[in-house]
Structure 1
Amino acid sequence: MPDREKNANTARVTTPLHININADNFDTETNFIIKLWEESSIRPYILKYSKGISQQPRVLLFIVFIFLFIFYYNISGESIDKNDVGKTELMQEVDMLTKIIPTEGDGECTAILLNWNRLDNIKIIVKNLCQYSMFKEIFIWNNNVDIHLSDPMFADTHCNKIRYYNSPGNIYFIARYIACSMATTKYCYFQDDDWMIRHLRSMYSNFLRFPNLIHTDTNADVYSSTNWKWCFFNDDIDLHSCYSWVGTGAFTSRGNVLKFLKMTSKTEMSSLEFIYGDMYFTTYLNQVPYQLENSLIELPQENGFGLTSEERMRNKLYMHKALIRLYNYLSSLKNDNSTQDTKEYSPTFYERDVRSPCHNDKCLFLTNKHSFPNIKLFKYKPYINISESERLHSSFFDTQHFISYPYSHAVDNDNSTVWISQDVIRKDDYIGLDLLLPMPVPLTFNLIMNHNSDYFNHLSIQISHDGSDWIQLSPLPKLEIHEISSTTKNNLLLCQFRIRETGFRFLKLVSTRDLNFTFSIYDFTFNGMDNNNDNEVVGDTGLNNNDNDSGD
């Protein structure tokens, strides 16, 4: 064993070590240093004093070190500066749209919150609402006499917009409408204390276009009720109302709230009905709320209101009472030949095309495709209660398709979900986006779908600054169409196009002829990134585009 170790040690020592050196690198670096030395302004001084310090190697070594440090610092500084320029340009490009948010209506709205027994939720909601510039105040009405709200309780929210009212008693839901009547702004926003609402800017932007209409926000399941099962029409008395819950986010004008409070007096509501104002508000205004559909985020639901089957039946009872009172009120106006205007506001239910907020709250999804049958198929009569109305509507039409493939799936930034229209694409059907404000930069749009490519052969692309007057782009932007992998059976199509025009807010893609397949939209997004295609003006997409197709 000792001999083996000795031999092994000898082998390790005597085995030659081969190192491959690339001399070109050394030559380059050496030549560069020599050139730098020859051109250096401090070279004469170093040569002058080199004889004196040559006998002091430590001093000489120190001077060389200082020289190399200065050289390295200058080279590194130039490199950092160049990198920073590139990063700055990239950041400016990325932030071009992320820093652009709507400012119309700033400070013109008061957020109304009701506190009962979930103060921790209220604090979370306050912190969320405080970041939005549309809210001048956050008015918290405290219905719990055992708690006295004050600033120290909300110190962690760092919000300076909070106003409190500690009620001497619990007046339930009507408190939010009284609070709105006390607001100093012309608009109010409502939400309950068990939801986090993410898409406030987009909902508010559409509300500002039509402030005479209540705007509400809910998920696909509830949307299928508030746009179908809970809609009540009777043309004989100008009844055109749909019930919508305001607890998951609602914008309204203060004027509409005052009108509602007056209606509670005109219809001689009982005191018990009065405190359940949420079951009356949207119905009493006799205008279908402008409802947006998207996914919701739940906060802790303990001590909730209206969760048990018994409480749900109670809510439906008051919904029905509201309808009966409204029906009788409108009937009396007809009998008295009243000149009071009871017509449906514009845009009417079937004139509306804004469906869902985009995932990042930067846009709204548009389409003229409705998801439910004509709501006038059922003529409301007071003897039909809410449960019976639900049964009749459900037996006539199943809403499960919409619940599985709702509008919001077209703009949720998730390629595994899809909006599929109930009906095939017809001539003049469209999809589009409301970008919330006029765009100051050219935009690139990305549309992911599971369509027959024939869709792109019969397409018109239109833009508008106000959503009313439309300009057709001619020639069409170049459509870059690719297949992308998918978890579905078939690969999806990705269509990208860039619009160089600026100043527009609305975009829509209009079909110019009937097609035999439905819309199947997986994602629809936009950005301000420059893909270096600005010099391209292309009328032919490679798919035989014909924007003047008559559909014959």
Structure 2
Amino acid sequence: MHWLCRVAPVLVAAIAVLLSVQFANILSCDRPVESRSQSIHRSGLFPSSFVDGVGTNISRVLSKNAVAPQRRPDVTAIVLNWSRLDNVVRIASLLCGESLFDTVAQVFIWNNSPEKLTYETFASTGCPKAKLRLHNSPRNLYFYARFLACAQAKTPFCFFQDDDYLVLPQIIRTLGYGIAESPQTAIHLLPAHEHLSSRLRTILTPSGVHSGFAWLGHGTMVSRKRASDFISLVRHLNMPLEEVNLADNYFTILGNQIPEIWFDHGIELGGGQPFTVGQEGNERNLRHIRNACAYLDQLVFVTHDTSHPESAVEALPFVQATTNVGQWFINKSPCLDSLCLLETNIHLLGNDVPRGHAATDLIAHEGQYIRAMDKEGVLNYTSHSLSRAVDGVPATAFRSSFLARRGEYVMLDSFSPVVSPDAVLELAFLTPRSNEKILQKCVFQSSLDGDDWLSSPHQVMCRNTSMTTGTLLRNRLFADALVECSVRVANGKARYFKALLKSDMSVAWTISEIWLREVSQ
């Protein structure tokens, strides 16, 4: 077993390299954008079954199986250019592709660089001039520029992303469908380590602060009204230029809401000159986050001070008065293979949202929380995030650090009713054998609207696979055989598919893959 411990890091690194090469080929700008999602499936990353010799009459349910209404594109995609023009051209090519015709109405390139951009720069992207908008800014407005661009949009929603990050088309589509129905006014994609930081950078106070921090550059869908309200608040506060330029550090905190954050599948592009470098950059970010918290404390005081009603009205509606604390306990990740969202309330952290006396306690509380966390808990959160259950790779897995509890669930949302008149629908799991007992204690439900649920009368069935999963704990590699479990869902059209645990368990949730499939009769 000791030799496995020594070679495990090498094996993991080798797998990562192979996967990155495979995705690099799939996402090459030399290939038509609309063919890339199909290439992912042809590459074998998303089989309908992981059991050897099975699958001739089984197929994954993709967005083509869903009865989606005709959808008009309602998103303006905004990309800031500074020092990574090659990346911006690649991103624009993706955003203008056929895969996003029902989502992205316009691609807005805001150029903060002194080197002027022209439409000829983007000739290779296939973006028609009617869809591509270029703005050469007379000066570098840094991150505030994305909010100004969004306020100028003709669509109700805007999509932000940095130029060193690639967000796949199906993920952007899922964000578009999600924001259109969400009670939240912004949804943020975050890699696992930033997701953890965001969860810990949350604060509730007796004075009425219920806020948190999340970055925007990994991919954020936001309502245009929210961006406009933020600009109004920035002007109302008469913020200094440096603070205005670093608007990303202020946006979520000043909104006084716990951000809706999704675990991310994004691909780093790198290149160019990064904005945040080293300890100095990190300290600058923390300084501005603290400034945002100080502003929020003042705003919450003013909005509760009846002697200043005009100021309170002027500061609102961006600063929210009602809490959405339940958002902290729900975790989500878009599926990598198609239009689909995985949601769960499985415990990933403790039972309590971080609390303090003032918003300015946020950073200190994050440090206290992270020091109190078990190192394996941090590693588990960042290495076994929810996105691992919908990435098509059996060697990766979502894993909770806590024993499974009654009332916890995992749910797939296909965003529109799935209809398979000539086939049986199944909810399928690839999971360690130790988790088979969790699924046996679940009730499997489906729903058309998310309110009325039908429970399946069928039993979950599990079959052995030839695969195993491994986890490094205390410098030892533990292996566990993987089984494929599936259950037939209730007949009729459905959009939501849920496994709801009915008993406390002595093991923690671990899911390598969860997907919806149809079995031909």
TM-score by length of 1: 0.74
Bigger Cα displacement from structure 2, 321-330 vs 263-272: 263-272
Q: 2:405·2:503 contact (CA, 8 Å) conserved in 1?
A: yes
Aligned to 1:114: 80
Alpha-carbon shift at residue 226 of structure 1 (Å): 0.6
Partner of 2:464: 483
Where does residue 217 of structure 1 map in the other structure?
Answer: 189
The unaligned stretches of length 5 or more in structure 2 are 1-54, 470-478
2: distance between equivalents of 1:177 and 1:383?
25
Aligned residue in 2 for 1:367: 344
Q: CA 1:295–1:367 in 2, change beyond 3 Å: closer, same or farther?
A: same
What's the offset of the Cα at 1:514? 1.7
Per-residue displacement from partner, 1:346-369 (whole Å, max 9, x unpaired)?
A: 58324x635111121332112111
- Post-superposition shift, 1:481? 1.3
Matched, 1:349 2:331: no
How far 1:263 sits from its partner (Å)? 1.2
Residue in 2 that maps onto 1:181: 151
Alignment of 1:44-63 (within 5 A): none
Richer in strand (by share) = 2
Pick aligned residue for 1:428 from 400, 407, 411: 407
Q: Distance in 2 between matches of 1:457 and 1:185?
A: 46
What is the aligned residue count?
435
Change (3 A) 1:328 1:375: farther
Q: What is the alpha-carbon distance in structure 1 between the residues aligned to residue 113 and residue 411 of structure 2? A: 46
Aligned to 1:397: 373
Structural mapping, 1:130-529, within 5 Å = 130-131=96-97, 132=100, 133-145=102-114, 147-160=115-128, 161-198=131-168, 199-210=171-182, 212-228=184-200, 230-234=201-205, 236-336=206-306, 342-344=320-322, 348-350=326-328, 353-374=330-351, 376-381=353-358, 384=361, 386=363, 388-398=364-374, 399-441=378-420, 442-450=424-432, 451-473=434-456, 475-476=457-458, 478-488=459-469, 489-499=479-489, 501-529=491-519
How many angstroms apart in 2 are the aligned matches of 1:104 and 1:218? 29
Conserved 8 A contact 2:111-2:135: yes
Q: Distance in 2 between matches of 1:347 and 1:378?
A: 11
SS of 1:487's equivalent?
strand
Identity of aligned residues (%): 27
Opposite residue 134 of structure 1, the aligned amino acid is T
- Write the letter of the residue equivalent to 2:267: I
Separation of aligned partners in 1, 2:353 and 2:412: 28
Rg: which structure is higher?
1
Superposed CA offset, 1:34-75 (max 9, x none): xxxxxxxxxxxxxxxxxxxxxxxxxxxxxxxxxxxxxxxxxx
Q: 1:461 is aligned with what amino acid? A: F
Contact 2:435–2:510 (8 Å) recurs in 1 = no
- Partner amino acid for 1:150? T
Distance 1:345 1:434, change over 3 A: farther
Displacement, 1:174? Answer: 0.6
Secondary structure of the 1:427 match is coil
Deviations 1:158-209 (A, max 9, x none): 0121101111111111111001110011111100100001221222222222
Structure 1 spans left out of the alignment, 5+ residues: 1-89, 533-552
For 1:366, the aligned partner's letter is E
How many angstroms does 1:331 deviate by?
A: 1.2
Shift of 1:500: 6.0
